[in-house]
Amino acid sequence: MRSHLLNDGTADAYRLAVTQGVERMAKKIATTRRPFTGVTPDELAPVVSAVDLDQPLGDTTAALDELERLYLRDAVYFHHPRYLGHLNCPVVIPAVLGEAVLSAVNSSLDTWDQSAGGTLIERRLIDWTAERIGLGPAADGVFTSGGTQSNLQALLLAREEAKTSDLTRLRIFASECSHFSVQKSATLLGLGPDAVVSIPVDREKRMRAPLLAAELASCAADGLVPMAVVATAGTTDFGSIDPLPEIAGLTQRYGAWMHVDAAYGCGLLASPTRRHLLDGVEQADSVTVDYHKSFFQPVSSSALLVRDAGTLRHATYHADYLNPRRTLEERIPNQVDKSLQTTRRFDALKLWMTLRVMGADGIGGLFDEVCDLAAAGWELLDADPRFEVVVRPTLSTLVYRYVPEAVTSPALIDRANLYARKALFASGAAVVAGTKTAGRQYLKFTLLNPETTTADIAAVLDLIAGHAEQYLGENRLVSA
């Protein structure tokens, strides 16, 4: 069994095994004809259950063949141009290379003595990102597992900076389109059930700053503490960007922490043409960025950036076995002092390889392409009498629904759209997402693949219309 340990004696076995896997994936990627096969949990579960985990195959080829049946054949492939579902991106090759390297070395970024140069590379990327945001000379941050964790840590810092022992008095303000991790974080941080104040959005799905001002005023009048305002720069559904400069002014006036959730919109930081859409982000106290969304990085790759490095001390604890206090005096860089995690992947290497091979403009250019595609997709939808589209996109999502002229029952239209989404998924021809707006069922394209064309969008719209019409044909008499 020693032959399976990666070391100086097994370097050839490593090369062979990984090459086999890469060869198989290369073939797979090249021959994927649809984003999904439409397999159901009921079909796949018995195949996975039938594997006897106590009876190893002992052989790489056999294990890969088995994996083909359990996973690879039916996986959901984000690189396919007709995957238009959630906020998942096709990945860039330099990042995948970084992934292979970081797994083989297996650095852990909690301490210098488990990572050495890895720590310095992560720090450079944090500085690079903070500089692109414009957070100033005292900025710092840390890589995280994802936007959810970044938001949680940001709100932890905000809670501690609020310096109030009565947690029930703390309030967080976020738009009604903000990510659900804001609410989750509030609960995890021990705040009261009413802690998150939902601010209505305008027609463009941006937080209405005057209503935020009113809520902040009444919070102060009630003797409550405005702990934080979460501005979303790229809402998950609409890609809308809250008015950052106005929000910055209000947070300053009320002494609230300004957190910008740019999990989605962070791609603009590298955009050669759209960086201005993030104007105002430089005034934030903290910013969430998800490189695994709009920087075309493999999951996971995310970071939390802060304006004032000192605020990260709220996540600092010392352990004699890991990062004793003396390491501070000895100026040994231990990233665990800034992180909610202990053992932590060297995810930063993926972004590093990406920037070293392609450069920031290369990544930003790809993000620009999908934003352009969304604009073209909006034109298609707006001109198509079969569909209604909610907002003109700022980033790369389109929220729309099929609305046949002849059908007047809103409930029936909801069901037809839901049916179309499910039928499309079951066919595997394309994957789209869904969401609700004003209580009604909508469909959503999240466009993060520069290989997707307007012809793909048009073809998927035809498929959706076909499924919805079929449903209406079968159900009109029963339900209308």
Residue carrying the six token digits 């903290």:
286
Q: Give the separation between CA 374 and CA 450, rounded to whole angstroms.
A: 10
Binding site for ligand PLP (CB under 6 A): 87, 146-148, 151, 179, 181, 232, 234, 236, 261, 263-264, 290, 302
3-state secondary structure (DSSP) of residue 224 = coil
- Using a 10 angstrom Cβ sphere, with 0-12 exposed, 13-18 middle and 19 or more buried, the burial of residue 238 is buried
Beta-carbon count within 10 A of 421 CB:
22
In the bound state with ligand PLP, the residue whose beta carbon lies nearer, of 224 and 229, is 229
For residue 87, which phi and psi values (nearest 5 degrees)?
-80, 60
Q: Which among 215, 260, 256 has a CA at the least distance from the CA of 235?
A: 260
In the bound state with ligand PLP, the residue whose beta carbon lies nearer, of 283 and 302, is 302
CB of 4 to ligand PLP, least distance (A): 32
CB of 145 to ligand PLP, least distance (A): 7
Beta-carbon count within 10 A of 298 CB:
17
Position closest to ligand PLP via CB: 147
CB of 299 to ligand PLP, least distance (A): 8
In the bound state with ligand PLP, the residue whose beta carbon lies nearer, of 284 and 463, is 284
Maximum distance among all Cα pairs of the chain, rounded to whole angstroms: 78
In the bound state with ligand PLP, the residue whose beta carbon lies nearer, of 130 and 241, is 241
Q: Give the separation between CA 47 and CA 45, rounded to whole angstroms.
A: 5
CB of 281 to ligand PLP, least distance (A): 14
Q: Give the separation between CA 412 and CA 373, rounded to whole angstroms.
A: 31
* Distance from the Cα of residue 397 to its chain's centroid: 13
In the bound state with ligand PLP, the residue whose beta carbon lies nearer, of 151 and 271, is 151
> Which contiguous run of DSSP H or E holds residue 183?
helix 181-188
Q: Give the separation between CA 127 and CA 314, rounded to whole angstroms.
A: 20
Interhelix angle 348-357/93-105, nearest 10 degrees: 140
CB of 303 to ligand PLP, least distance (A): 11
In the bound state with ligand PLP, the residue whose beta carbon lies nearer, of 118 and 147, is 147
> Which contiguous run of DSSP H or E holds residue 151?
helix 147-162
Q: Give the separation between CA 175 and CA 196, rounded to whole angstroms.
A: 10
In the bound state with ligand PLP, the residue whose beta carbon lies nearer, of 152 and 460, is 152
In the bound state with ligand PLP, the residue whose beta carbon lies nearer, of 63 and 299, is 299
Q: Which among 148, 187, 182 has a CA at the least distance from the CA of 168?
A: 187
CB of 297 to ligand PLP, least distance (A): 11
Q: Give the separation between CA 1 and CA 9, rounded to whole angstroms.
A: 13
Contacts of 180 (CB under 8 A, 6+ apart): none
CB of 125 to ligand PLP, least distance (A): 17
In the bound state with ligand PLP, the residue whose beta carbon lies nearer, of 102 and 152, is 152
Q: Give the separation between CA 228 and CA 230, rounded to whole angstroms.
A: 6
Q: CA 190, 192, 195 angle in degrees (round to 5)? A: 110
CB of 239 to ligand PLP, least distance (A): 9
CB of 476 to ligand PLP, least distance (A): 37
CB of 155 to ligand PLP, least distance (A): 12
472: its two tokens: 């209406």
Is-contact 68 37, C-beta < 8 A?
no
In the bound state with ligand PLP, the residue whose beta carbon lies nearer, of 258 and 429, is 258
In the bound state with ligand PLP, the residue whose beta carbon lies nearer, of 301 and 334, is 301
CB of 478 to ligand PLP, least distance (A): 38
Q: Which among 278, 307, 316 has a CA at the least distance from the CA of 394?
A: 278
